[in-house]
A and B are shown apart, each in its own frame.
Chain A
Amino acid sequence: MTQLNKHAKQLLAPIVSNKRVGQYHQIIINIGEIATNCKPGNFVAISVGGGSSSMVLRRAFAISRVSTSTTVGGTMELIVAPHGQGSKWLCAQDEGVVLDLVAPLGTAFGIPTEPVPVLLVGGGYGSAPLFGLAELLNSRGCRVDMLLGASTGSKIYAPMEGKRAVNSMRIYTEDGSMGVAGRVTDPIAEIIKDLNVAVIYSCGPMPMLAAITKITNEFDVIHQCAVEESMACGVGICMTCVLPVENEDGTISNLRSCIDGPVMDGAKVQWSKVGQQI
C-alpha cells in the first residue's frame, strides 16, 4: 500500500497578499518548496481562529494554483468565499499573518497522456482550481474549453489572465445577470459531440457534479470531478467526509473525499445515495 498523505507537510506559512475579488478573496501564501508537490485538484487544510479559538477543526480549501518562481519563493493561491466562521476569519487576515497549514492533500486531476480535447466545468468559486489545470492541460497540447456557472454574475470567478490558456470560455447564470441565462450543464452534451471531448474536469456543488455525470454516462467521456464534503481533519482519520463510491467488484463503499478524493471518477460516485444508508 502506498504511503497515505504522501508529500503532505505541516508548516507555518505567511500570507503574501489578500485581495478582495468580487465576492471572493484571493489569498496568496508563501509555502516555499512544497509548492513543487502541489498539483491541480489538491487541497490545503488550514488552522483558523488563532490560538484560543473555539473553532477546533481545520478548514479545507482547494489550491487554485501554485507558483514556484516568485520573488518570495513558492506560493499557493486560494480563492475563498467568506461564508462560514472559519473562512470569514481567513479572509480577514492581513499580509504577513502566519498560517498553520497542511498541504498538499488529496488526489489530483489526472492529465491525459495524449493531447485530447477537454472540457472544464466550474460552479461558483469552484472554478478557481480549473485555471491552473487549464494551463497545465494547454501546455500538454490539449484543446481546453471552459464553462462557468453560478446563480448570479457576482458569484462567477473568472480572472482575466485565466482566459489565456483556454480556447473558449462560456458563462451561464441562473438569473441571466452575466453570460447566458441558464445552467452550466445545458450545453455540455452538445459540446461533447461538437468537439469530441475526451475528458470533462469539474469542480463545484454536488448537484452540478451529479448532473454532469448523468450527461457523461451517455457518452464515451471520462468525468473527473473534485467533490466537496464537509471535513473535520482533511488527513483521513475522522471518517466524516465520505461519499458512496462503486468498487471494481460492483459493491459500494463509503470512501473518504480527503484520501480517495477530492478528485474522483464521477461515473463511480453514487450521487443518488449520498446522505443515504448504504
Chain B
Amino acid sequence: MTALDFSTTIGNAWFPAPTFTASGCASSGRELAQFFPLREMGGVVTKSVMSKMRPGRPTPRMAETPSGMLNSIGLQGPGIDAFLAKDVPYLVEQKARVIVSIAGETVEEYSTLARKLRSVSGISAIEVNISCPNVENRGLVFACDPEASRRVIDGVRRTIGGELPIIAKLSPDVTDLVSIAKGVVDAGADGLALINTVLGMVINVDTMRPHLGGKTGGLSGPAIRPIAVRAVYQVHAALPQIPILGMGGVASGKDALEMILAGASGVSIGTASFGNPTAIMAIQDELKQLLIDRGFTSLKQAVGFAHRSIEAE
C-alpha cells in the first residue's frame, strides 16, 4: 500500500485524519463510543453549547425529506458548566481530539463562553456557531449579517487570546457568503465550517399546518450537498490559505473527496451518522483509498485540486 499522509491542520491544531463529527450530530460523542473508538477519527466537534441549560424546541423536531431531513432541535443542551464538568473530561479520557462548538444569543454570551474555555486542557479548537437556524429570531442569526459575524468572532478572539484556533461556522442562507467569510477571517477566525443547515419547512397536509414544532427547521443530508460543495469552492477560491471544514450531506468517501477537491481541509459528517453510527469510519477508509487511487501522497495535495486548470497539470 502506498503511504498517505492523511493528517490535516486547522490553525495550530493537528489532526491525524480529516474526518470530524458535525456539531449537533454526535451529541458529545459518548453515544458513538459504543460503535468505534472516538480517537480513530480526526476529531469530535461537540454539540453547540450555550451559557445555560436549554430545553430546546417542542416536538415534532424532525421530518425526513427526500435524501435529507429537517431538524428543529433548538440547541438543547446542558449549559457550559455541566458540559465542561462531564463531557470534555470524558472525551479527553477517550483520547479523542476535541473541537468545542459554542453558540450564544448575544456577542457577550460568545465571549463569556470563550472565557470559560480558555483554561480548559484537551481542547484542540473552538467552533463558533453563528449560524444555527433554529432560533426564535432570524435577526439573531449572526452569520446572516457581516457586521454581527465580525463582532462575534472579534469578541471571542480577544477573549481567548492567540492560542486556540477559532473555526467560524457559517450559514449558506446568505447572498454573499464570501464577504461574510472574509469578515470573520479578518476578525480572527483561523478556519471556517461550511455549511450549516439550510432553512426549510414541511407542511403536514393532514393537519394543514407546519409539521415541526418550531415551524421551520434546518435541512441537512445529501439533498444539500451540491450547495455545500459550491460554498466550499467559492470560499476557497477567495481565501485559499484558510482551512475549511466542509460539511453538508457527506455520506461516502466519494462525497468527502468532493469537499476536499473543492477546497476543504477536512470534512464533518452529520446526518450520515444518524442513518449509520459507523458512517464516519467507513467514510474515512473510503476517502483514504480514493486519495491513494488518484496518486496523492498527502491529503493536503488534494485540497482545492478542483480549482486547478486542466492545462496546469
List which B17-57 residues lie within 8 A (CB) of chain A: 24-27, 30-35, 47, 55-57
Kindly list the 9 A-B residue pairs having the minimum CB-CB distance in the complex, ordered from nearest. Answer: A240-B62, A236-B31, A233-B274, A5-B34, A240-B61, A54-B67, A54-B66, A232-B274, A278-B55
Which A residues are in CB contact (< 8 Å) with B32? 235, 237
Asked if residues B60 and A230 are in contact (CB atoms below 8 Å), the reply is yes
Interface of chain B, helix or strand or loop or mixed?
loop
Asked if residues A55 and B56 are in contact (CB atoms below 8 Å), the reply is no
Q: How far is the CA of A225 from the CA of B293 in the complex (A)?
A: 53
A-B contact pairs, 7 of them (CB 8 A): A4-B33, A8-B34, A238-B25, A240-B61, A241-B61, A242-B61, A278-B55
Report which residue of B33, B62, B221 has the largest number of chain A beta carbons within 10 angstroms of its beta carbon. B62
Asked if residues A4 and B67 are in contact (CB atoms below 8 Å), the reply is no
CB nearest neighbor in B for A49? B275
Asked if residues A254 and B56 are in contact (CB atoms below 8 Å), the reply is yes
Min C-beta distance of B20 to chain A, whole Å: 14
Asked if residues B251 and A56 are in contact (CB atoms below 8 Å), the reply is yes
Which among B69-77, B108-116, B230-238 touches the partner chain? B69-77
Chain A contact residues, CB within 8 Å of chain B? 1, 3-6, 8, 10, 47, 54-58, 100, 102, 229-233, 235-243, 252-254, 259, 274-278
Q: How far is the CA of A4 from the CA of B32 in the complex (A)?
A: 8
Min C-beta distance of A40 to chain B, whole Å: 21
CB nearest neighbor in B for A244? B55
**Contacts A10-B35, A237-B274, A239-B73 given; does A56 touch B222 at CB 8 Å:** yes
Asked if residues A56 and B69 are in contact (CB atoms below 8 Å), the reply is yes
Q: How far is the CA of A146 from the CA of B59 in the complex (A)?
A: 31
Within 8 Å of chain A (Cβ to Cβ): is B309? Answer: no
Within 8 Å of chain A (Cβ to Cβ): is B297? Answer: no
Q: How far is the CA of A253 from the CA of B77 in the complex (A)?
A: 10
Asked if residues A238 and B59 are in contact (CB atoms below 8 Å), the reply is no
Which A residues are in CB contact (< 8 Å) with B66? 54
Asked if residues A3 and B58 are in contact (CB atoms below 8 Å), the reply is no
Which B residues are in CB contact (< 8 Å) with A231? 62
Which B residues are in CB contact (< 8 Å) with A253? 55
Q: How far is the CA of A47 from the CA of B279 in the complex (A)?
A: 12
Q: How far is the CA of A55 from the CA of B63 in the complex (A)?
A: 11
A-B contacts besides A237-B26, A239-B27, A241-B61, 18 pairs, CB < 8 Å: A1-B30, A1-B90, A3-B34, A4-B30, A4-B33, A8-B34, A10-B278, A57-B274, A57-B275, A232-B62, A233-B274, A235-B32, A236-B31, A239-B24, A239-B56, A240-B59, A241-B59, A274-B59
The interface on chain B, measured as residues whose beta carbon lies within 8 A of the other chain's beta carbons, has a size of: 41
Which B residues are in CB contact (< 8 Å) with A57? 64, 69, 274-275
Which A residues are in CB contact (< 8 Å) with B68? 56
Chain B contact residues, CB within 8 Å of chain A? 24-27, 30-35, 47, 55-62, 64, 66-69, 71, 73, 76, 86, 90, 213, 221-222, 251, 271-278
Asked if residues A238 and B62 are in contact (CB atoms below 8 Å), the reply is yes
**Contacts A5-B31, A259-B31 given; does A47 touch B56 at CB 8 Å:** no
Asked if residues A254 and B34 are in contact (CB atoms below 8 Å), the reply is no
Which A residues are in CB contact (< 8 Å) with B62? 230-232, 238, 240-241
Which B residues are in CB contact (< 8 Å) with A232? 62, 64, 69, 71, 274
Asked if residues A56 and B64 are in contact (CB atoms below 8 Å), the reply is yes
Min C-beta distance of B48 to chain A, whole Å: 12
Asked if residues B213 and A275 are in contact (CB atoms below 8 Å), the reply is yes
Asked if residues A276 and B86 are in contact (CB atoms below 8 Å), the reply is no
Asked if residues A56 and B274 are in contact (CB atoms below 8 Å), the reply is yes
Q: How far is the CA of A235 from the CA of B280 in the complex (A)?
A: 15
Which B residues are in CB contact (< 8 Å) with A47? 275-276
Which A residues are in CB contact (< 8 Å) with B56? 239, 242, 254
Which B residues are in CB contact (< 8 Å) with A274? 59
Which A residues are in CB contact (< 8 Å) with B67? 54, 56
Min C-beta distance of B36 to chain A, whole Å: 10
**Contacts A4-B30, A56-B251 given; does A276 touch B58 at CB 8 Å:** yes
Which A residues are in CB contact (< 8 Å) with B76? 239, 242, 254
Asked if residues A240 and B71 are in contact (CB atoms below 8 Å), the reply is yes
Q: How far is the CA of A255 from the CA of B193 in the complex (A)?
A: 29
CB nearest neighbor in A for B36? A10
Which B residues are in CB contact (< 8 Å) with A238? 25, 62, 71, 73, 274
**Contacts A239-B73, A242-B76 given; does A58 touch B59 at CB 8 Å:** no
Q: How far is the CA of A241 from the CA of B33 in the complex (A)?
A: 20
Asked if residues A4 and B69 are in contact (CB atoms below 8 Å), the reply is no
Min C-beta distance of A123 to chain B, whole Å: 19
Min C-beta distance of A101 to chain B, whole Å: 11
Q: How far is the CA of A55 from the CA of B65 in the complex (A)?
A: 8
